[in-house]
């Protein structure tokens, strides 16, 4: 069944995803990596990796996270910029590098925290519209990632 995500994305989001894909392609080329090398390192088909370089919203978020890891964006000082409101928490004390993303729609809040270098992630969804609770939930998710993947 065809995903309706592509049909419902605002033009601004489509452009941002396209730019993210182009930036990923540029980062790959700067590292002299081929498309096949990237696909193999990500553990995905060549066709899936090509979708990543196009900024396809139907590709799993984990594939994008693994792409950032393979390109070396899991280390402090290597990030070239911020794309699509992904937030990077640099390592501090026992906390590893954490890549995080939050969102919400129709009364639901979601939060994703990934430690790509350790293969650990936490995804939380809450259906209570409470900003204070959301920030506590995000802090708890970050703490859990830190405990599961200490630096």
Q: What string of H, E and C letters represents the secondary structure of 91-125? A: CECCECCEEEEEEEECCEEEEEEEEHHHCEEEEEE
pLDDT tens digits for range 31-78? 899 999 999 988 899 999 999 999 999 999 889 888 988 887 755 444
Q: Are residues 55 and 97 in the same domain?
A: no
Q: Which domain holds residue 122?
A: 87-148
Q: Domain tally for the chain?
A: 2
Task: Write down the pLDDT at residue 81.
Answer: 41
65: in domain: yes
pTM of the model: 0.50
Q: Are residues 64 and 9 in the same domain?
A: yes
CATH number for the domain that contains residue 11? 1.10.260
CB 119 within 8 A of CB 66: no
- DSSP state at residue 13: H
Task: Write down the pLDDT at residue 105.
Answer: 64
132: in domain: yes
Confidence check: pLDDT of 84 > 60: no
Query: Shortest CA distance to 88 belongs to which of 131, 134, 142?
Result: 142
The pLDDT confidence band at residue 148, using thresholds 50, 70 and 90, is: very high
Task: Write down the pLDDT at residue 13.
Answer: 86
16: in domain: yes
76: in domain: no
Q: Are residues 41 and 93 in the same domain?
A: no
79: in domain: no
Task: Write down the pLDDT at residue 101.
Answer: 84
102: in domain: yes
Q: Are residues 23 and 50 in the same domain?
A: yes
């Amino acid at each position: 069944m065809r995903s309706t995500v592509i049909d419902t994305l605002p033009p601004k989001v489509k452009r941002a995803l396209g730019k993210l894909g182009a930036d990923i392609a540029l980062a790959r080329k700067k590292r002299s990596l081929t498309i096949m090398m990237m696909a193999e390192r990500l553990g995905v088909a060549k066709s899936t990796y090509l979708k990543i370089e196009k900024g396809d919203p139907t590709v799993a978020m984990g594939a994008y996270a693994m792409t950032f890891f393979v390109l070396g964006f899991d280390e402090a000082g290597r990030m070239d910029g911020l794309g699509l409101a992904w937030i990077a928490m640099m390592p501090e004390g026992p906390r590893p590098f954490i890549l995080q993303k939050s969102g919400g729609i129709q009364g639901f809040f979601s939060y994703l925290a990934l430690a790509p270098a350790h293969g650990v992630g936490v995804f939380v969804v809450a259906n209570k519209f409470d900003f204070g609770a959301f920030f506590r939930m995000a802090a708890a998710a970050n703490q859990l990632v830190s405990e599961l993947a200490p630096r």
